[in-house]
């Protein structure tokens, strides 16, 4: 399709997997709109993509945990651009004892991971449906397949994303829009993340992935209309095969190590 005047929207685009998604799309000569929190060097990254790949790049800085911000963002997108790809990558994790978590901590995870993803998809879907071919990729997590102690809210939010994506994929069959979901493990985004995952022991290291490789594979599978994209088959099989009474205490023990260290 002609992508010269249409755009791919990537949320959480300033670092990690989102940044890799943006660069991978730009390499394919696809114009991108980058969404991130303020003060994340998004302007510099946008300029870098423009200069290196000669594509059109726009950026928008906002906090997606605030409902009004999400609605203003989607209004701006719909009024200004034709959109044929939406990658809902923005998400918040966190490791805490539930008794020590603040109400703001819990609310922010749910607002970004669940509400913002749902609303952005809902508000941009009419725009996507107008395109000859369009794609939605929602980033879930391996955590979607098991509850985890000390991460009680995060896995639940990612279970929502997985279920939401599968349902929407089925609903939109026969339209121009294909919906995919990916369930990656932890990413090698920076030194701190790698060290934190190492502390979880074998379970944590098993799911540690390179964001550039994950992004490249996801984009390929997205264009193949793969509804569920598995980037780590070994850990996926482990999570699917192990019964809950085994994997729940195993996962919780690994996360507890992180807190104790």
Q: Could you list the active site residues?
A: 154
Q: How far apart are alpha carbons 127 and 82 in whole angstroms? A: 7
Q: How far apart are alpha carbons 148 and 155 in whole angstroms? A: 7
Q: In what order do the strands lie in the sheet with 177-182?
A: 57-61, 31-36, 6-11, 82-88, 134-139, 177-182, 228-229
Q: How far apart are alpha carbons 170 and 189 in whole angstroms? A: 33
Return the structure tokens found at 46.
């946008």
Return the structure tokens found at 29.
């000569």
């Amino acid at each position: 399709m002609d992508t010269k005047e249409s755009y791919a929207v990537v949320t959480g685009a300033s670092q990690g997997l989102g940044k890799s998604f943006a660069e991978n799309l730009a390499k394919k000569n696809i114009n991108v709109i980058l969404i991130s929190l303020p003060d994340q060097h998004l302007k510099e990254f946008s300029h870098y993509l423009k200069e290196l790949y000669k594509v059109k790049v726009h950026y928008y800085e906002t906090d997606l945990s605030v409902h009004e911000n999400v609605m203003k963002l989607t209004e701006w997108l719909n009024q200004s651009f034709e959109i044929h790809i939406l990658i809902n990558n923005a998400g918040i994790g966190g490791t805490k004892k539930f008794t020590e978590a603040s109400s703001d901590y819990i609310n922010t995870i749910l607002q970004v991971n669940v509400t913002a993803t749902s609303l952005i998809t809902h508000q941009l879907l009419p725009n996507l449906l107008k395109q000859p071919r369009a794609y939605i990729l929602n980033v879930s997590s391996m955590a979607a397949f098991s509850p985890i102690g000390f991460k009680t809210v995060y896995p639940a939010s990612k279970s929502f994303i997985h279920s939401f994506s599968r349902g929407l994929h089925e609903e939109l069959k026969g339209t121009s829009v294909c919906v995919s979901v990916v369930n990656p493990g932890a990413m090698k985004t920076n030194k701190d993340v790698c060290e934190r995952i190492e502390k979880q022991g074998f379970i944590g290291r098993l799911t540690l992935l390179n964001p550039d490789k994950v992004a490249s594979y996801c984009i390929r599978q997205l264009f193949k209309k793969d509804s569920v994209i598995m980037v780590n088959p070994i850990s996926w099989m482990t999570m699917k095969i192990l019964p809950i009474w085994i994997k729940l205490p195993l996962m919780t023990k690994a996360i507890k190590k992180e807190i104790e260290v």
